[in-house]
């Protein structure tokens, strides 16, 4: 198990970081160095001021009111998923350090229980979201439109989420954030080591698999349609140019 953890949760992380950040930088570089269309592709009505355009872009990107109007169900799942993903992402910040604001407000035990239920909700929403998308892609025009890339991403994401949820729901009472932080900070400071607690229990397998999927997901991310996470801003800005 130790080898598995070393591969997925130490070396895998280093490799992923290089591929992910390098890939994203490459993607942004490519976009930035390709000349803009000389024709303005905006549509009307458009805000008159730059600030207006910018705030419309943010609304369109984060709320997508038009998409809501045409397909509310899909919007709901997509919105819930992305918020939950954001929540989960922020939650992972606890791997770096305990941010003092919440624990001060809630107390140590309060913080742990807050993290437990908020993380659990996020984990469940993401799981439901991904299952919904997989389901949606199995019929009708959605099926015809889908390509293997779509399934690959959803499959990897399902792995990430399922194993994350597994760690939370099965081992949540045994292993707490502090333990994971010890491991994660050791990786971050290039002195990788695994706390005994991770190696003793079977949580190591879960963590290793969670990280395996995460590594693969993030390594593929910059080369997939998921670059919409950064491209959406500029393409939505073009809408009001």
Of residues 217, 92, 210, the one with CA closest to residue 155: 217
Number of residues that bind other proteins (CB under 8 A): 47
Closest residue by beta carbon to ligand HEM: 229
Binding mask 76-115 for other proteins (x = CB under 8 A): --x-------------------------------------
Nearest approach, Cβ of residue 227 and ligand HEM (Å): 9
28 lies in the site for other proteins, by CB under 8 A: no
Residue 201 binding partner per list other proteins, ligand HEM, none, with a CB distance cut-off of 5 to 8 Å that depends on partner kind: none
* CB nearer other proteins, residue 32 or residue 51: 32
Nearest approach, Cβ of residue 238 and ligand HEM (Å): 14
Instruction: Please provide the size of the chain in residues.
Output: 241
133 lies in the site for ligand HEM, by CB under 6 A: yes
Judged by the rule CB under 8 A, the positions of this chain that interact with other proteins are 27, 30-32, 34-41, 43-46, 60-61, 64, 66-67, 69-71, 74, 78, 141-142, 144-150, 152, 223, 225, 227-228, 231-232, 234-236, 238-239
């Amino acid at each position: 198990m130790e080898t598995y953890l070393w591969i997925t949760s130490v070396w895998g992380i280093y490799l992923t970081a290089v591929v992910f950040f390098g890939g994203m930088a490459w993607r942004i570089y490519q976009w930035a160095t390709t000349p803009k269309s000389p024709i303005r592709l905006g549509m009307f009505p458009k805000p008159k001021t730059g600030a207006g355009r910018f705030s419309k872009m943010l609304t369109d990107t984060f709320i997508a009111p038009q998409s809501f109007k045409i397909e509310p169900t899909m919007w709901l799942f997509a919105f819930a998923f992305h918020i939950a993903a954001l929540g989960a992402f922020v939650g992972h910040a606890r791997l770096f350090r305990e941010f003092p604001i919440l624990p001060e407000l809630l107390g140590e035990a309060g913080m742990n229980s807050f993290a437990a239920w908020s993380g659990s909700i996020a984990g469940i929403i993401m799981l439901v979201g991904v299952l919904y998308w997989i389901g949606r892609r199995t019929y009708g025009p959605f099926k015809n439109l889908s390509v293997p890339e779509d399934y690959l991403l959803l499959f990897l994401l399902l792995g990430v989420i399922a194993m994350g949820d597994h760690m939370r729901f099965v081992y949540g009472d045994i292993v707490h954030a502090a333990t994971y932080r010890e491991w994660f900070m050791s990786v971050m400071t290039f002195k990788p080591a695994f706390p005994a607690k991770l190696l003793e229990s079977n949580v190591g397998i879960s963590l290793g698999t969670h990280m395996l999927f995460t590594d693969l997901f993030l390594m593929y991310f910059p080369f997939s349609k998921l670059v919409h996470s950064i491209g959406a801003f500029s393409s939505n800005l073009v809408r009001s140019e």
